[in-house]
Amino acid sequence: MKRKVIIDCDPGIDDFLALLLALNSDELEVLGITIVGGNVDLKTCGENALKALKFTNSLHIPVYLGSDAPLQKKLENAENVHGEDGLGNTNIPNVQDGILKNGVVDFIVDTLNKEKDVSIISLAPLTNIAKALMKDKKAFENLSEFVSMGGTFKECGNCTPTSEFNYYIDPHAANYVFNNLVNKVHMIGLDVTNKVVLTPNMIEFIKQIDGELSKTVVDITKFYGDFYWKADKVLGSVVNDPLAVAYFIDREICNGFECYTDIVTEGIAEGMCIVDKNNLWNKTHNSIILDEVDDKRFFRMFIKAILKDKALEVEKYIKLLEL
Ligand code: RIB
Ligand code: CA
């Protein structure tokens, strides 16, 4: 049985890669893609989501534009990481016959009220999710699972010393979701995403196998790789968002622990995750913090999905990557 999901995202290079993984996965039925301003402005994120749908022949899947700004803060985008166009300044043409709908909160709430066993995979600031939860908390009692790429437990932040981008951009939304969602938040934070680096070797493999998506993936990850070399002397690019999708599909990819987590909303540590791993506050567990990852298992899934049209060659040569 395919698992029904709504993917909330801000494409962004790694969101785009995550969408390619999700849309090429037989395990998922993507009911809709909801967009939030984050890496770049809202409309550009929406256009980029349509490009991912076009590349995977999935334009029947609806895309909804949501919040263009956080609940309280001003949006600070990440064009320095993702390029002005959100896809590494590759300037891939917009999808002419693509439709960007409005009404993201109603879409989320109506879907949860109408459909059974729907999950949400969030790859962005949690503004849309918080607004939908504020509108109809009861609808979320039907939610099957909630996975969020965001936050950090022991790793340094990537926006401030304490905070990761998605939760830093909208700490009020993150705090609201962690403290009001009935489900536990499966938090795929920097503790695991920093360990999944798409290396130049993997990019070369994707290029040489030459699948339908290869050129696009090679082109958009160039800018990303340049950023990670300049910023952290990482050789390759940290692919945060695809790991959240992969974990949703295959739980063996990450391991972690249950606990209560709160999110700092004000001051120098805004966006910081306060992870009560030792249960000192004795509060009801609202999160599963993933802090171990089988990176090879992840990349086997990710590369096979990207090169889905070249499955035979991938089977024959993927051992070259020693995954
Ligand atoms: O911190 C990484 C996260 O912030 C990823 O989701 C990336 O796309 C940005 O949204
Ligand atoms: Ca994202």
Residue of 76, 165, 168 with the most ligand 1 atoms within 8 Å of its CB, for mutation: 165
Radius of gyration of the chain (CA): 18
**Which residues, in sequence order, are CB contacts of 109 under 8 Å at separation 6+?**
132, 135, 136, 139
Q: Tell whether ligand 1 has an atom less than 6 A from the beta carbon of residue 85.
A: no
CB 296, CB 323: distance < 8 Å: yes
Q: How does pLDDT run along the chain (323 residues), one tens digit per residue?
A: 899 999 999 999 999 999 999 999 999 999 999 999 999 999 999 999 999 999 999 999 999 999 999 999 999 999 999 999 999 999 999 999 899 999 999 999 999 999 999 999 999 999 999 999 999 999 999 999 999 999 999 999 999 999 999 999 999 999 999 999 999 999 999 999 999 999 999 999 999 999 999 999 999 999 999 999 999 999 999 999 999 999 999 999 999 999 999 999 999 999 999 999 999 999 999 999 999 999 999 999 999 999 999 999 999 999 999 99
Q: Tell whether ligand 1 has an atom less than 6 A from the beta carbon of residue 166.
A: yes
Sheet containing 273-276, strands listed edge to edge, beginning at the edge strand earlier in sequence: 100-101, 63-65, 28-35, 3-9, 118-122, 146-149, 185-188, 287-293, 254-263, 273-276
Q: Tell whether ligand 1 has an atom less than 6 A from the beta carbon of residue 157.
A: no
- Nearest ligand 1 atom to the CA of 166 is 4
Dist CA 168 CA 51 (whole Å)? 27
- Nearest ligand 1 atom to the CA of 78 is 9
- Structural domain spans, the chain: 3-195+240-295
CB 120, CB 22: distance < 8 Å: no
CATH assignment of 3-195+240-295, among 3.30.310.220, 3.40.50.1820, 3.40.50.300, 3.90.245.10: 3.90.245.10
The phi-psi region of residue 215 (left if phi > 0; otherwise alpha if psi is between -120 and 50; otherwise beta) is alpha
Q: What angle do CA 76, 169, 30 make, to 5 degrees?
A: 105
Q: How far is the CA of 281 from the centre of ligand 2 (A)?
A: 31
- One-letter amino acid at 211 equals G
Q: What is the pTM of this model?
A: 0.98
Q: How far is the CA of 151 from the centre of ligand 2 (A)?
A: 12
Q: How far is the CA of 317 from the centre of ligand 2 (A)?
A: 31
Least distant ligand from the CA of 39: 1
Supply φ then ψ for residue 237, to 5 degrees: -130, 140
Dist CA 4 CA 264 (whole Å)? 32
